[in-house]
Chains A and B, each alone.
Chain A
Amino acid sequence: MEAKKRFLELKKAWIDAKGNSDLRAQIDSETDAFFNSLTDAQRDEVIEATDSEFSRIHVEITDINETLDVRDLLADILPIVSISHLSRIYFGKSASWFYQRMNGNIVHGKPAKFTPDEVKILSQALGELSEKFSRTSKRLAV
């Protein structure tokens, strides 16, 4: 597992060195030396690590797309409802909790998102609010 660990360290170092071409060149040389030193078993480790990273990127893209789906659906609603009220009444949370999930913020090192159960609660909450709007609309029309 040492080769995988080193490979991921080199990847992180290269990414973190964005904007610093000298440092990236240095990491590139280290990566070259690393690849040239691999045994057959270590080569397999690096290939597996690469596959795992590709899978992770796919999952992360799906995750971001799901956040964008919720955000897009809420775009018309947000200006006309109190997120503070919605969060407190239906989730027992603050408005910032809600926005962290809607915006996919990193919270405690992990991207925040609505769980499937929270999406259901949100759907039910908007349904209830919709009924309240409808009832009030009908009363006003009388």
Chain B
Amino acid sequence: MSDDKALKAREEELIENLNFFLRNYNRLIAIGYRQTVLDAEIRSLEDELKKMSRRI
């Protein structure tokens, strides 16, 4: 039967991964990660995760 538990767990893992990079945002910029690239990447992942989450 259809069961969302596994997909929810995978979704949670991805969200926590993104949270880790958000937590380290300033540190990444400080070591030379380009801010515009980082902002775009984070925004893109947030959008994709939101769209995916709505389907689970």
Contact = CB atoms under 8 A, between A and B. Distances in A.
Interface of A: 11, 14-15, 18, 28, 31-32, 35, 38, 43-44, 46-47, 50, 53-54, 57-58, 60-61, 64-65, 67-68, 71-72, 75, 78, 99, 102-106, 111
Given A50-B21, A65-B55, A67-B7, A58 B2 contact: no
A11 B31 contact: no
Interface of B: 1-7, 9-11, 13-14, 16-18, 20-21, 23-24, 27-28, 30-33, 41, 44-45, 48-49, 52, 55-56
Contacts of B44: 58
Contacts, number: 84
